[in-house]
Amino acid sequence: MEKLKALLLTEGMHGMISQVEGMAKALNTEFSHKIVRLGFLWSLVPPKFTPISDMILKDKIYLTKKENLDLIISCGRKSVIPSILLKKKNKKIFSIHIQDPKVNLKNFDVIIAPQHDNLIGDNVFNSKGAIHYITESEINKAKLYLIDKIKSKKVVSLILGGPNKYYSFNKDQLIKIFNEIKSNFITKGYAVIVIPSIRTPKMIIDLAIKEFGADSHVVNSVDKQAYLSALALATNIVVTCDSTSMISEAATSGKPIFVAHMKPKKNNYRFKKFFQLFKEMGVTRDLGEQVENWTYNKFNEAERIAAIITSKLKN
């Protein structure tokens, strides 16, 4: 059977790309990805106040190309209007939006929103955490990638995010996190693997090298294979609190996950609901709690929701 053709629309952030690609893979589609760029003023306007017109776009080519698309999978505020536009041009296209679009939900065939967002609607499917493109088989295949970099059998993998509108990642907060890893893990014979994300400034990578020294292997650039290998090799995983996507991705490993909390710059109630959900599911604990191993039921929300959407497509 020929694969469905999907166009993925995002703003280009790792978390968004991970979500749309995760859904596209779970639906077994042939997909291409387009980063949406809006005109300067329109990038500041919420979708509900934005005209459904291609005049808001810097690049309109993907709206005019004659492609036989079956699906649009979009994620993020800037992708909302382009998705609606494409659907208007071809009503046969099945549109899926990930996250709350902040417009009338009926503009899309399916909306996928994390449970902690409390979004409810006839076409809304809620996920536990963020859906993503990481699979257990990918993690296992990448295990040997970093195995020569680490001597200890006990490994703690630190997954670093970066500054955003909720967390500043100032030096004092980072050193506090690094010191907790030293006292809770390194003093107990653990080696450290440090994995940066696309949002991790060089200053933070340099600080990790300085603080951990010979007890660590710090990956100094974005490297997906290193990321997957770090998840595979880890006895325990520490993830900074700024990214629900990275915490959700780490949960694919089935390893114990500690969340490294930082003081938020603004009300982070959605993060708090996510943290509470993952604690109740037995997936995470807070960095600083007693180090021990525990297990939880592995889950893949992209595959679960894809099965429901596939049934809708068949009907």
DSSP labels, 246-275: HHHHHGGGT--EEEE----SS--HHHHHHH
Q: At what angle do helices 171-184 and 202-212 cross, to 10 degrees?
A: 30
CA distance 26 to 5: 13
Domain boundaries, the chain: 5-133+302-314, 136-286
In this structure, the chain runs to a length of: 315
| Rounded-to-integer distance, Cα 99 and Cα 75, Å | 6
For residues 114-151, one letter each, b for 16 or more C-beta atoms within 10 angstroms of the residue's C-beta and e for the rest, the string is: bebeebeeeebbbbbbbbbbbbeeebeebeebbeebbe
- Give the Cα separation of 121 and 204 in Å (integer): 41
Number of CB atoms found within 10 A of residue 236's CB: 23
Q: Is 75 helix (H, G, I), strand (E, B) or coil?
A: strand
Q: What is the mean pLDDT of each run of 10 residues along the chain (315 residues)?
A: 89 90 95 91 90 84 69 95 91 95 96 91 93 92 94 94 95 96 95 95 95 90 96 97 94 96 94 95 95 90 94 83
The CATH code belonging to domain 5-133+302-314 is: 3.40.50.2000
Q: What is the pTM of this model?
A: 0.88
Distance CA 8, CA 74 (A): 6
Same fold flag, 5-133+302-314 and 136-286: yes
pLDDT recorded at residue 215: 78
Q: 136-286, what's its fold? A: Rossmann fold (3.40.50)
Structure tokens, 75: 């994620």
**Residue with the two structure tokens 């208007």:** 88
Q: Which residues, including other chains, have CB under 8 Å from residue 219's CB and lie 6 or more apart?
A: 146, 193, 194, 195, 196, 226, 227, 230
